[in-house]
């Protein structure tokens, strides 16, 4: 094993003294069982682990040379470790060992074990100088780490027993952990699943992100709808992170670029901050490999603090630089309605890119030693951009290579194009980032120079591909593909296009001189001039991309990603086809080899094994082993038992136990009491118009209205009891999404208190949806709604989690729904709605006034407007579903178009649920068919096709 900062074999036998001595270097190491006096208090430190290890040695079960590999901590040694941390890693008063203190001490104890594997992993990577992948993401939606960590270390039972001895239940202790507020939705959860799979599969990789102090926001649901307050996840500290004060990098904003001798550029002046590393160990499942998530926090160097201003009483001036630096990492996705908000977002993105690349390059140089060769940099480094947020790593890598390392433009551009890859997560135009050129020139002047050079390279490539004969075609290609939008062509390119080989005037004059006599060509000077003007007018080269002064000048980040990277991938089969055929069709025609599909996946450890232990035991029993936790192909075995009555009975019992837990959770969080024997119908995801929570709640309103029109007996005969559960956050400035949240909660308040309806229908909005809430809801869900407008959801990952847990999906042919339906079987997926290829035509039909709404949809809108759900004015929300044109109106997301199909499909859901044998079989087949959607499979494909890295198993 590679050398470690301390001996892994001696760690557990001396950890109590080692940790204490680390904080008190003047103390000597104590022998086992020694006592000492400090501050008039006598302590006795007894290492149970050492005693157990000695007993094993005496029995001949381990040798002197055996490492940690052969020693598994038992509950006694773990209890000793927890007690040590509760005493000597104090975050709480010493009086009582209550749950918050128990969690912190337990987490510190687990971290001790992680650090051993963590150090060993990177010592080995350094030693063999392995090629490494680096995953850059603005989000990591990690969730709670305790149960996941002890599960991956195979210490769940030992920790449960240890905590029981100390008076606590492991689940109660785990609930004390706040969710890390580092992400918002699927983008961030995917990144976290990827890290889990990378570690489990032993791939050398590292994640980079930002350490947000407050994250997105904590969501409260009040009578006014959604309210946002700052998230407090770091209030009691984060026991999983290790601050690396020795790992920091300078990051610059503003200033100017000056040219030095031999054309060398230097970026000087401006605002300087420091990015400091915080490391979070990410353990693999049943492997020593423990990789790293490095998060950056921002501050200023001490010399930047204006001490003279402070002493003069101008405290605001003294603090301004510090606050400007610190606020970069305050909030995930700060509102960008203002110039200040836009500036802050751009600062965040650049900080992530600059600090991460400086760190990556420093590691490359250290590993290379005296054999440093920049040409082989792409053979040792792969950088993956998770969506367009980290796009600035392209010009930043070029800047470092040219300005700092002294490479030429050609070398830097070539290296970058072989190092960086891009994952596209959206087809929504507003999500394909475009930044103001003016803002970027002010904030990052050197990077704009580099982006202009990349744009010029791209223009030349386009001209080489299409030539200058068909100027209309060329103009269209440049309009679609350029990185700089609404900006004149570079002068060199404009001249090349505008200058014909031989002008038409010259050609005609030459012919006339040869063929016509002087007498025949005598004309007045005035006639000559007129003739030449007419000829020039006929042969004039049309202007190419004339900027519109009324429109902003923009930098198109997605185009920069495609031009600057060597691979572009979509995240589901249908999405990747849309990327190739629509979003980036012009690029695909020019560089088809760049484009790939990598269907998303989720980790089966967190999303079945740990969050759904009841179902996991059943799967293990019927598949014959726990191999399915890593090799999800084993889930297919369940198909042959899908009709087995014993399996079905066990399956239903496990589902009901999970539903009872959900009912208890809902009562705690919302005060609503729901019946666990009703169908649990769930839609939990980010609130957005294209995800169509509005279609769901309109369907519920229709259901409620029909119930109200029936007698008690008719209602019971016609409808299956349902608990309709919503969850998700609307972005703070997204007014329409917040209206939808308000509407859902108003419908719930009316329906849930209607004595005529009773348990036949409940509508519950779960506040502050996050990973931990998902881990509670998903195992107890029976129907899950993935009903986005076709062609607008790139993939989705919650659909995969629900299917894995035996939940049946209702949805459109969108994102990963398409592949899930193929794998689970068409009969086990409730399909409705228009398909992706129809959407453009349907919108055109609407614009032409040809759409005729279904009477049932009109009925629902009128019912909402009648005020039955309270006094709130829903005219704006209902109005968005009307009209024939205008984004945000004219029902852009086709709620009205798909409504009839949706409610008819819901009738089929009711019929299927009445036959519990059929429903249970569908549930089993959904779990069996979800084998393909493990993030392990996705990571294998990234490693093979994009990063070209191999697994590295520690010796």
Which residues are catalytic, by number? 425, 685-686, 691, 797, 801
Residue 275: its H or E element: strand 271-283
Buried/exposed code over 230-269 (b: 16+ C-beta within 10 A; e: otherwise): ebebbebebbbbeeeeebbbebbbebeeeeeeeeeeebee
Beta strands in 322-442 (DSSP E): 381-386, 420-423, 434-436
Contact present, 52 and 117 (Cβ < 8 Å): no
Task: Round to whole Å and give the CA distance between 388 and 538.
Answer: 44
Helix, strand, coil share of the chain (percent; to 5): 55, 15, 35
Alpha helix positions (H), 610-689: 613-623, 645-670
Buried/exposed code over 165-193 (b: 16+ C-beta within 10 A; e: otherwise): ebebebeebbebbbbbbbbbbbbbbbbbb
Task: Round to whole Å and give the CA distance between 878 and 889.
Answer: 9
Contact present, 829 and 811 (Cβ < 8 Å): yes
Contacts for 410 with CB less than 8 Å, ≥ 6 apart = none
In this structure, the number of other CB atoms found within 10 A of the CB of residue 58 comes to 9
Buried/exposed code over 430-439 (b: 16+ C-beta within 10 A; e: otherwise): eebbbbbbeb
Distance of CA 515 to the CA centre of its chain: 73
Tokens of 567: 């691979």
Pairing status of strand 205-210 against strand 132-136: parallel
Angle at 797 between CA 791 and CA 801, to 5 degrees: 135
DSSP three-state, residue 245: strand
Residue 92: its H or E element: none
In this structure, the number of other CB atoms found within 10 A of the CB of residue 710 comes to 14
Contacts for 374 with CB less than 8 Å, ≥ 6 apart = 401, 405, 407, 411, 415
Burial of 41 (0-12, 13-18, 19+ CB in 10 A): exposed
Contacts for 637 with CB less than 8 Å, ≥ 6 apart = 622, 623, 624, 928
How long a stretch of residues is the chain? 955
Contact present, 107 and 81 (Cβ < 8 Å): no
Contact present, 92 and 106 (Cβ < 8 Å): no
């Amino acid at each position: 094993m590679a050398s470690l900062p301390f001996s892994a074999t001696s760690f557990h036998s001396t950890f109590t003294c080692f940790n204490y001595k680390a904080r008190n270097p003047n103390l000597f190491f104590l022998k086992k069982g020694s006592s000492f006096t400090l501050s008039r208090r006598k302590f006795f430190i007894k290492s149970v682990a050492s005693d157990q290890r000695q007993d094993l040695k005496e029995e001949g079960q381990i040798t002197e040379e055996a490492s940690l590999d052969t020693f598994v901590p038992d509950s006694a040694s773990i209890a000793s470790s927890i007690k040590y941390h509760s005493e000597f890693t104090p975050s709480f008063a010493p009086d009582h060992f209550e749950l918050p203190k128990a969690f912190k001490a337990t987490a510190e104890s687990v971290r001790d074990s992680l650090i051993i594997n963590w150090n060993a992993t990177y010592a080995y990577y350094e030693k063999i100088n392995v090629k490494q992948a680096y995953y850059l993401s603005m989000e990591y939606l990690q969730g709670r780490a305790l149960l996941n960590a002890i599960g991956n270390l195979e210490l769940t039972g030992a920790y449960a027993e240890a905590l029981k001895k100390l008076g606590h239940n492991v689940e109660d202790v785990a609930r004390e952990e706040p969710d890390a507020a580092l992400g918002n939705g699927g983008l961030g959860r995917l990144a976290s699943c990827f890290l889990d799979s990378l570690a489990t599969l032993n791939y050398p990789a590292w994640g980079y992100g930002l350490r947000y102090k407050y994250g997105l926001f904590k969501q409260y649901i009040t009578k006014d709808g959604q309210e946002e307050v700052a998230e407090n996840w770091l209030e009691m500290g984060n026991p999983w992170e290790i601050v690396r004060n020795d790992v920091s990098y300078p990051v610059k904003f503003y200033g100017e670029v000056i040219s030095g001798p031999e054309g060398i550029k230097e970026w000087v002046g401006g605002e300087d901050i420091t990015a400091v590393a915080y490391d979070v160990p990410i353990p693999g499942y049943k492997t020593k490999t423990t990789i790293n998530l490095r998060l950056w926090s921002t501050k200023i160097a001490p010399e930047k603090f204006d001490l003279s201003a402070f002493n003069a009483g101008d405290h605001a001036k003294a603090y301004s630089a510090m606050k400007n630096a610190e606020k970069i990492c305050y909030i995930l996705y700060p509102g960008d309605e203002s110039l200040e908000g836009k500036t802050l977002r751009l600062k965040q993105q650049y900080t992530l890119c600059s600090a991460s690349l400086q760190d990556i390059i420093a590691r490359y140089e250290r590993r290379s030693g005296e054999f440093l060769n920049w040409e082989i940099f792409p053979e040792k480094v792969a950088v993956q951009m998770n969506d367009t947020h980290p796009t600035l790593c392209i010009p930043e890598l070029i800047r470092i290579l040219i300005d700092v390392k002294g490479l030429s433009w050609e070398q830097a551009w070539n290296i970058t194009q072989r190092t960086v890859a891009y994952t596209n997560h959206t087809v929504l135009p507003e999500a394909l980032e475009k930044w103001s050129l003016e803002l970027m020139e002010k904030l990052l002047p050197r990077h704009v120079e580099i982006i202009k050079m990349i744009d010029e390279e791209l223009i030349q490539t386009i001209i080489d591909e299409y030539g200058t004969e068909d100027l209309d075609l060329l103009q269209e290609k440049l309009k679609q593909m350029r990185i700089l939008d609404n900006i004149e062509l570079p002068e060199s390119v404009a001249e090349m296009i505008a200058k014909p080989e031989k002008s038409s005037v010259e050609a005609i004059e030459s012919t006339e001189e040869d063929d016509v006599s002087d007498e025949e060509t005598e004309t007045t000077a005035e006639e000559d001039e007129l003739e030449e003007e007419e000829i020039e007018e006929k042969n004039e080269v049309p202007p190419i991309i004339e900027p519109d002064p009324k429109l902003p000048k923009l930098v198109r980040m997605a185009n920069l990603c495609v031009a600057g990277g060597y691979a572009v991938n979509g995240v589901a089969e249908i999405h990747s086809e849309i990327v190739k055929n629509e979003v980036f069709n012009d690029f695909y025609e020019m560089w088809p080899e760049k484009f790939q599909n990598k269907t998303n996946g989720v980790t089966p450890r967190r999303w079945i094994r740990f969050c759904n232990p009841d179902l996991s035991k059943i799967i293990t029993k019927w598949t014959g082993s726990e191999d399915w936790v890593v090799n999800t192909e084993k889930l297919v075995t369940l198909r042959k038992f899908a009709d087995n009555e014993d399996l079905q009975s066990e399956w239903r019992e496990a589902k009901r136990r999970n539903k009872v837990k959900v009912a208890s959770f809902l009562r705690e969080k919302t005060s609503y009491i729901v019946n666990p024997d009703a169908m649990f119908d769930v839609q939990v995801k980010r609130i957005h118009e294209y995800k169509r929570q509005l279609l769901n709640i309109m369907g519920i309103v229709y259901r409620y209205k029909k119930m109200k029109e029936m007698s008690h007996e008719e209602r019971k005969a016609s409808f299956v009891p349902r608990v309709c559960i919503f969850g998700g956050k609307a972005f703070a400035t997204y007014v329409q999404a917040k209206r939808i949240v308000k509407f859902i909660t108003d419908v719930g308040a009316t329906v849930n208190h209607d004595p005529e309806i009773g348990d036949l229908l409940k509508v519950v909005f779960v506040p502050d949806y996050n990973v931990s809430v998902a881990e509670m809801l998903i195992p107890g869900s029976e129907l899950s709604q993935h009903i986005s407008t076709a062609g607008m959801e790139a993939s989705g990952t919650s659909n995969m989690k629900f299917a894995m847990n035996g939940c049946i999906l209702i949805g459109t042919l969108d994102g990963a729904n398409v592949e899930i339906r193929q794998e689970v079987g068409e009969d086990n997926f409730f399909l409705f709605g228009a398909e992706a290829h129809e959407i453009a035509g349907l919108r055109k039909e609407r614009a032409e006034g040809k759409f005729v709404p279904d009477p049932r949809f009109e009925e629902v809108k009128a019912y909402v407007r009648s005020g039955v759900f309270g006094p709130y004015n829903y005219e704006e929300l209902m109005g968005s579903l009307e009209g024939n044109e205008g984004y945000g109106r004219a029902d852009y997301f086709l709620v009205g178009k798909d409504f009839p199909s949706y409610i008819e499909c819901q009738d089929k859901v009711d019929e299927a649920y009445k036959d519990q044998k059929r429903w249970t079989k569908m549930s089993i087949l959904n779990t069996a068919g979800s084998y393909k959607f493990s993030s392990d499979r996705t990571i294998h494909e990234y490693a093979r096709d994009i990063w070209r890295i191999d697994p590295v198993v520690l010796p």
